[in-house]
């Protein structure tokens, strides 16, 4: 599985969405991505990519795209 697929799968599984819904998705734009969902999302991403996210990155992670950008620039994950 490519990193992009892995990343998408975490969103689909954690937030219980369809894969088409992931693109453009923002924090709090759906009920499932609230603070609880966010915590689950971070935990799942940390597991999937074997990383430990910093506080600033966790709270900066405000959309599907932003998360990708953070993983790419701060955790050397290539998409």
User: Which positions touch other proteins (CB under 8 A)?
Assistant: 14, 16, 27, 31-32, 34-40, 42-43, 54-56, 58-60, 62
In terms of Cα–Cα distance, which of 58, 59, 37 is closest to 46?
Answer: 58
Nearest approach, Cβ of residue 34 and other proteins (Å): 6
Helix count (H) and strand count (E) of the chain?
Answer: 4, 0
Query: Between vectors from CA 38 to CA 21 and to CA 76, what angle results, nearest 5°?
Result: 85
Pick the closer one to other proteins by CB: 2 or 52: 52
Pick the closer one to other proteins by CB: 4 or 13: 13
- Cα Rg, the chain, nearest whole Å: 11
């Amino acid at each position: 599985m490519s990193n992009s697929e892995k990343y998408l799968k975490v969103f689909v599984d954690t937030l219980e969405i369809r894969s088409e819904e992931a693109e453009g998705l923002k924090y709090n734009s759906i009920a499932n991505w609230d603070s609880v969902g966010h915590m689950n999302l971070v935990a799942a991403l940390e597991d999937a990519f074997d990383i430990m996210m910093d506080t600033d990155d966790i709270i900066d992670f405000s959309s599907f795209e932003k998360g990708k950008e953070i993983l790419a620039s701060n955790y050397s994950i290539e998409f």
